[in-house]
Amino acid sequence: MVIGRGGREHAICQKVKESPLVSQVFVAPGNAGMADAAALVPIQESDQTALIHFAKTHNVDLIIIGPEAPLLEGLGDRFREVDLRVFGPSKAAAVIEGSKSFAKDLMVKYGIPTGEYGVFSNYEDAKEYLYRKGAPIVVKADGLAAGKGVVVAKTILEAEEAIREMLLEKKFGEASAKVVLEEFLEGEEISLMALVHGETVIPLETAQDHKRAYEGDRGPNTGGMGAYSPVPHINSEIVKEAIDSILKPTAKALVKEGRPFSGVLYGGLIITETGPKVIEFNARFGDPETQVVLPRMKSDLVEVILRLLEGDTPEIVWENEAILGVVVASKGYPNQCETGAVLHGLADLSPDVFVFHSGTAKNDEGQYITHGGRVFLIAAKGNTIKEAQGTVYSELEKVQCDGIFYRKDIGHRAL
Ligand code: AMP
Ligand code: GLY
């Protein structure tokens, strides 16, 4: 049973369904577009009692929790308390995503490379630090803000405005009652995920996300507008360094802190001149990274997870082919957006492309309509990123809808 309703969960369901060990996949609550991959269970991610009851009565053997919110509400703990097998961290371990200041303090304590920072709940103190450090500087809401709580400020005024919105105007509510001011790091950005259980770390292939809403990496930060894997311009030595200096020590640190991690540990990294540094941790699969990483995995994900949970360190085998995915979003995303527009042409897409639904629904006539900020992602494989990119964009021309937009330059940094 997969918990969640986005494109990431659609990709997890699809991958899990391929396993010869699996007879039935459930997704709670899922969305209309993923009925091809799993049986939809109309229970909300936050309804812990109903989820436990369902899992128990349907003899669910393995639960994978997709999004961060239920993890931080302790859903993983609740499942474990009643002896359900779950892949997803405890609340205590998921705090590595839920509190940026916790993550930063942990990194400093254990010597894990990251940028310089300060944590503030007082506006004047934050301002004083800002004027001392100068710009560019990065302003982050401490808590969860769906990938939107980060402002990369080029000027002091821009940073001051962001701090004011977060601390004084409570733009993200409790999540921005504290802010982290962080050194601006320069370099290529990669997402490096690993399957982790205690001190065991099994890295996945790298991906690169495009966080900004508009072409040329401009505009506001979003949950992610497209991604590709692998990241050909980051060599394997650097990836190995990141695994050894970041992922493994972080897993160890969490064990030491009495918060052993079991699930996907996601490092958002910047490859600086002095090596990889962490800009964020997530306690779950990335979205949209998962949609371009899992389709490249030759190994059986379910078998790998089951063995990992039993204390083994299984190897993962990967395909050489590249894959690239483009997110189609509702006009206005990541701000207020209109939904309910009819999507035409989805049925005409080539069977060779992957379509992962995140914010679609069906209207009374059975047509797909937009039903969220990010609507769906189309991904294609190719011998190169360029080839995959060409396929995705020519397929996207078949999709007609007046309520959507997408970036036309996904993959540009690899090209
Ligand atoms: P986050 O939600 O922490 O991943 O931040 C969103 C985006 O802001 C990242 O994907 C980066 O592009 C950018 N960013 C975050 N922190 C930094 C930093 N310290 N230096 C430069 N860019 C950053
Ligand atoms: N794509 C970034 C994230 O999943 O947080």
pLDDT tens digits for range 72-100: 999 999 999 999 999 999 999 999 999 99
* pLDDT mean over 384-408: 97
Give the CB-side neighbour count of residue 171, counting CA atoms within 13 A: 19
Q: Is the CB of 209 under 6 A from ligand 2?
A: yes
Which atom of ligand 2 sits closest to the CA of residue 289? 1
Residue to probe by mutation, ligand 1, list 152, 212, 278, 287, most atoms within 8 Å of CB: 152
Distance between CA atoms of 408 and 93, rounded to whole angstroms?
Answer: 37
pLDDT for position 222:
87
- My answer on whether 77 and 146 are in the same domain is no
Q: Give the chain's length.
A: 415
Residues 176, 224, 188: CA angle, nearest 5 degrees: 95
The number of the ligand nearest the C-alpha atom of 282 reads: 2
Is pLDDT above 80 for 146?
no
361-364, long-range: CB within 8 Å, 24+ apart, which pairs?
361/31, 361/32, 362/32
- pLDDT for residue 102 is more than 90: yes
Ligand 1 midpoint to CA 277 (Å): 11
129 is in which domain, residue-wise? 122-177
Q: Which of 210, 282, 293 to mutate to test ligand 2, by most ligand atoms within 8 A of the CB atom?
A: 282
Say yes or no: 349 and 248 in one domain.
no
Q: Which of 90, 109, 138 is the last residue of a domain?
A: 90
CB of residue 337 inside a 6 A radius of ligand 1: no
Nearest to 89 by CA among 264, 251, 301: 264
Q: Is the CB of 287 under 6 A from ligand 2?
A: yes
pLDDT score, position 292: 98
The finding on whether 225 has its CB within 6 A of some atom of ligand 1 is no
- How many angstroms is it from 152 CA to the middle of ligand 1? 7
Query: Domain check: are 163 and 200 in the same one?
Result: no
The ligand with the least distance to the CA atom of 224 is: 2
Dist. CA 1 → ligand 1 center (Å): 32
Q: Is 4 in the pocket of ligand 2 (CB under 6 A)?
A: no
What is the predicted pLDDT for the residue at 197? 98
- CA angle, residues 271, 89, 47, in degrees to nearest 5: 125
For ligand 2, is residue 189 a contact (CB within 6 Å)?
Answer: no
Domain count within the chain? 4
CATH number at residue 347: 3.90.600.10
- CA distances, 407 to each of 33, 98, 161, 195 (Å): 22, 29, 27, 30
The average pLDDT across 287-291 equals: 97
Question: What phi and psi, each to the nearest 5 degrees, are found at residue 162?
Answer: -65, -40
The reply to whether 26 and 62 lie within a common domain is: yes
Q: Is residue 414 part of a domain?
A: no
Residue 101 lies in a domain: no
Q: Is residue 286 part of a domain?
A: yes
Give distance in angstroms: CA of 380 to centre of ligand 1.
27
Q: Which among 306, 113, 100 is positioned nearest to 197, based on CA atoms?
A: 306
CA of 187 to the centre of ligand 1 (A): 11
116 is a domain residue: no
- Read off the tokens for 148: 């939107």
* Percent above pLDDT 90 for the chain: 93
Average pLDDT, the chain: 96
Q: What is the mean pLDDT of residues 269-279?
A: 97
CA distance linking residue 79 with residue 92, whole number of Å: 15
198 and 302 housed in the same domain: yes
Q: Which of 264, 287, 326 to mutate to test the pocket of ligand 2 (most atoms within 8 A of CB)?
A: 287
Residue 148 has pLDDT above 90, yes or no: no
Task: For residue range 4-38, list pLDDT tens digits in order.
Answer: 999 999 999 999 999 999 999 999 999 999 999 99
Average pLDDT (234-263) is: 97
Which one of 90, 111, 137 terminates a domain? Answer: 90
Q: Do 385 and 339 sit in the same domain of this protein?
A: yes
The pLDDT value recorded for residue 95 is 97
Query: 296: pLDDT confidence band, cut at 50, 70 and 90?
Result: very high
What pLDDT band is residue 147 in, cutting at 50, 70 and 90?
A: low
Q: Is the CB of 7 under 6 A from ligand 2?
A: no
Q: Does one domain contain both 173 and 199?
A: no
- Do 220 and 164 share a structural domain? no
Q: Do 305 and 209 lie in a common domain?
A: yes
Residue 77 lies in a domain: yes
Residue nearest ligand 1's atom 4 by CA? 280
- Which stretches within 65-219 are classed as H helix? 68-72, 75-81, 91-98, 100-110, 123-133, 156-163
The CATH number linked to 155 is 3.30.1490.20
Hey, which bits of 315-353 come out as E strands?
322-330
Identify which has the larger pLDDT, 170 or 5.
5
pLDDT in tens, 333-368: 999 898 999 999 999 999 999 999 999 999 999 999
381 sits in which H/E element? strand 374-382
Q: What is the C-alpha to C-alpha distance for residues 383 and 387, in angstroms, rounded to an integer? A: 6
101 C-alpha vs ligand 1 centroid, how far in Å?
14
At 323 the pLDDT is 98
Statement: residue 318 has pLDDT above 80: yes
Q: Are 65 and 3 in contact (CB under 8 A)?
A: yes
- Residue 31 in contact with residue 310, Cβ under 8 Å? no
User: Is residue 289 in contact with ligand 1, taking CB distance under 6 Å?
Assistant: no
Q: How many Å lie between the centroid of ligand 2 and the Cα of residue 207? A: 11
Q: What does the pLDDT look like over 171-227, one tens digit per residue?
A: 888 888 899 999 999 999 999 999 999 999 999 999 999 999 999 999 988 889 999
412 within some domain: no
Q: Is the pLDDT of residue 46 over 90?
A: yes
- The pLDDT, as a whole number, for residue 387 is 97
> Is 97 part of any domain?
no
Do 172 and 196 belong together in one domain?
A: no
* Ligand 1 centroid to residue 393 C-alpha, Å: 27
Is the shortest distance between the CB of 182 and ligand 1 below 6 Å? Answer: yes
Q: Can you tell me the mean pLDDT for 392-415?
A: 96
Is 234's C-beta closer than 6 angstroms to any atom of ligand 1?
A: no
d(CA 286, CA 234): 19
CATH of the domain at 201: 3.30.470.20
Within a domain: residue 115?
A: no
- Report the distance separating Cα 313 and Cα 15, nearest Å: 20
